[in-house]
């Protein structure tokens, strides 16, 4: 069986190292590299045969979990594995809570990465946590994750475009629906997030940007 993976990372060196680690044991993988979130969005929207997305948490200044939320809203059934140098328990738990199918540290060995990917392809969840690590999500963040998980895929896309500063008319054009439909989605998003305005929704979403502080160019063990 031929698999198609997308590696989303803005460091070409790491993308190449991860690609080498994933392809070293088999030729049955087609790996596409992309260096920014917008490129990943276009690929995911235009392709129906993606088996796994491997996503860095920080892309060209886009921090935290916003990239994960954005990509999951486009293709909810495509598993996304976070591959990050920021691998503290709070970040890991937040990513898995938002629907990531796995969390892989950038310091992982090739064998660990391949085991993680195989677990995800088999329908499992990969986590480096063993349940005893310190660092729990606070109550507000837990509530926010629950609210985000209540959004439908289309509502998630609307929230993502709202966060980009787009107006209802622009969102309607981008999603090829009526402005009235977008207004209904915006109302549903505000209700599910427990806020009263678009600005409050975007501010609440921005909480995720503070949950993963990206390192500089990470040291990786892909060799």
Task: Determine how many CB atoms are found less than 10 A away from the CB of residue 26.
Answer: 10
What's this model's pTM, rounded to 2 decimal places? 0.83
Q: Are residues 171 and 147 in the same domain?
A: yes
Q: What is the mean pLDDT of residues 71-85?
A: 92
Q: Are residues 118 and 166 in the same domain?
A: no
Report if residue 217 sits inside a domain: no
**Predicted confidence (pLDDT) per residue in 152-194, tens digit:** 999 999 999 998 899 999 999 999 999 999 999 999 999 999 9
User: What CATH number should be reported for the domain holding residue 150?
Assistant: 1.10.10.10
pLDDT band (50, 70, 90) for residue 118: very high
Q: Is the pLDDT of residue 220 over 60?
A: no
Q: Are residues 72 and 26 in the same domain?
A: yes
Q: Are residues 143 and 167 in the same domain?
A: yes
Q: Is the pLDDT of residue 212 over 60?
A: no
What is the total count of domains within the chain? 2
**Domain-terminating residue out of 117, 134, 151:** 134
DSSP code of residue 211: S
Q: Are residues 178 and 116 in the same domain?
A: no
Report helix, strand or coil for 33: strand
Residue partners of 91: CB distance under 8 A and separation at least 6 = 57, 84, 103, 211, 212
Q: Are residues 24 and 114 in the same domain?
A: yes
**Domain-terminating residue out of 75, 110, 134:** 134
Report if residue 172 sits inside a domain: yes
Report if residue 144 sits inside a domain: yes
Report if residue 216 sits inside a domain: no
Query: Residue 131 has what pLDDT?
Result: 66
> Do 77 and 27 contact (CB within 8 A), yes or no?
no
Query: Residue 205 has what pLDDT?
Result: 86
Report if residue 118 sits inside a domain: yes
The residue behind tokens 């738990």 is 93
Task: Determine how many CB atoms are found less than 10 A away from the CB of residue 42.
Answer: 13
Residue partners of 203: CB distance under 8 A and separation at least 6 = none
**Predicted confidence (pLDDT) per residue in 11-50, tens digit:** 898 899 999 888 876 668 899 999 998 899 999 988 878 9
Q: Are residues 120 and 154 in the same domain?
A: no
Query: Residue 207 has what pLDDT?
Result: 79
User: What CATH number should be reported for the domain holding residue 42?
Assistant: 3.40.50.2300
pLDDT band (50, 70, 90) for residue 1: confident
State which residues form the domain around 55.
3-134
**Predicted confidence (pLDDT) per residue in 126-149, tens digit:** 998 876 666 677 888 889 999 999
DSSP code of residue 210: G
Query: Residue 54 has what pLDDT?
Result: 96
**Helix 153-163 to helix 168-175 angle, to the nearest 10 degrees?**
130
**Domain-terminating residue out of 69, 101, 134:** 134
DSSP code of residue 58: -
Query: Residue 218 has what pLDDT?
Result: 41
Which token pair is 102? 């796995």
């Amino acid at each position: 069986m031929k698999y198609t993976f997308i590696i989303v990372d803005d460091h070409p060196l790491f993308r190449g190292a991860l690609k080498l680690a994933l392809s070293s044991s088999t030729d049955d993988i087609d790996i596409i590299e992309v260096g920014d979130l917008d490129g990943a969005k276009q690929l995911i929207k235009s392709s129906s045969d993606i088996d796994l997305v491997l996503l860095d948490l920080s892309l060209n200044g886009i921090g935290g979990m916003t990239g994960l939320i954005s990509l999951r809203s486009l293709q909810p059934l495509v598993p996304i594995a976070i591959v990050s140098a920021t691998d503290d328990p709070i970040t890991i738990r937040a990513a898995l809570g938002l629907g990531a199918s796995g969390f892989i540290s950038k310091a992982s060995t090739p064998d660990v990465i391949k085991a993680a990917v195989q677990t995800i392809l088999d329908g499992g969840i990969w986590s480096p946590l063993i349940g005893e690590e310190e660092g729990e999500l606070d109550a507000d963040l837990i509530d926010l994750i629950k609210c985000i998980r209540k959004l439908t895929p289309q509502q998630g896309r609307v929230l993502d475009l709202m966060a980009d500063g787009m107006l209802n008319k622009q969102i309607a054009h981008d999603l090829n629906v009526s402005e009235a439909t977008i207004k209904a989605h915006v109302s549903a998003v505000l209700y599910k997030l427990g806020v009263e305005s678009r600005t409050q929704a975007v501010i609440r979403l921005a909480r995720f940007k503070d949950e993963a502080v990206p390192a500089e160019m990470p040291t990786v063990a892909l060799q």
